Amino acid sequence: MRSVGDCSVGNQPHRKTQGQFGPLSFSFNWLDEVSSTSDVARELGESGAAEGTVVVAKRQTAGRGRREKRWFSPEGGLYFTVVLRPQVPASHSRLLSIMAALAVADTVELATLASAQLKWPNDIYVSGKKVGGVLIETHVRDGRVNLALVGIGINVSRPDDEAPLYVGTNAIWLSDLVQKAPDITELLAAVLGSFTTWYQRLQSSDCASIMDAHNRRNLLMGRELEARTCDGVVVGRGMGIDSQGALLVEDKDGAVTAIIEGEVCSWS
Ligand code: BTN
The predicted structure's pLDDT at residue 5: 58
Which residue, judged by its Cα, is nearest atom 15 of ligand 1? 64
Q: At 10, is the pLDDT very low, low, confident or very high (cuts 50, 70, 90)?
A: very low
User: In angstroms, rounded to a whole number, what is the distance separating the alpha carbons of residues 139 and 212?
Assistant: 26
**Which numbered atom of ligand 1 lies nearest the CA of 63?**
14
**Which numbered atom of ligand 1 lies nearest the CA of 64?**
14
Which residue, judged by its Cα, is nearest atom 11 of ligand 1? 151
Q: What pLDDT digit, counting tens, does each position of 58-89 carry?
A: 999 999 999 889 999 999 999 999 999 999 99
In the predicted structure, residue 184 carries a pLDDT above the cut 70: yes
User: In angstroms, rounded to a whole number, what is the distance separating the alpha carbons of residues 30 and 58?
Assistant: 8
In the predicted structure, residue 3 carries a pLDDT above the cut 90: no
Report H helices in 10-92: 37-46
Cα–ligand 1 centroid distance for 153 (angstroms): 5
Computed over every residue of the chain, the mean pLDDT equals 93
Q: What pLDDT digit, counting tens, does each position of 201-214 carry?
A: 998 889 999 999 99
The predicted structure's pLDDT at residue 9: 32
Buried b (16+ CB within 10 A) or exposed e, 162-181: eeeeeeeeeebbbbbbeeeb
pTM of the shown model = 0.92
Q: What pLDDT digit, counting tens, does each position of 93-102 carry?
A: 999 999 999 9
Cα–ligand 1 centroid distance for 73 (angstroms): 9
User: In angstroms, rounded to a whole number, what is the distance separating the alpha carbons of residues 105 and 111?
Assistant: 10
**Which numbered atom of ligand 1 lies nearest the CA of 133?**
2
The predicted structure's pLDDT at residue 23: 72
What are the angstrom distances between the C-alpha of 130 and each of 11, 126, 127, 259?
30, 6, 8, 22
**What angle is formed at CA 141 by the lines to CA 21 and CA 56, rounded to 5 degrees?**
35
| Amino acid letter for position 174 | L
In the predicted structure, residue 53 carries a pLDDT above the cut 70: yes
The predicted structure's pLDDT at residue 15: 72
In the predicted structure, residue 174 carries a pLDDT above the cut 90: yes
Cα–ligand 1 centroid distance for 132 (angstroms): 8
In the predicted structure, residue 12 carries a pLDDT above the cut 70: no
Which residue, judged by its Cα, is nearest atom 1 of ligand 1? 65
182 close to ligand 1 (CB < 6 Angstrom): no
97 close to ligand 1 (CB < 6 Angstrom): no
59 close to ligand 1 (CB < 6 Angstrom): no
58 close to ligand 1 (CB < 6 Angstrom): no
Residue whose C-alpha is closest to residue 69's, from 3, 145, 130: 130
Percent of the chain surpassing pLDDT 90: 84
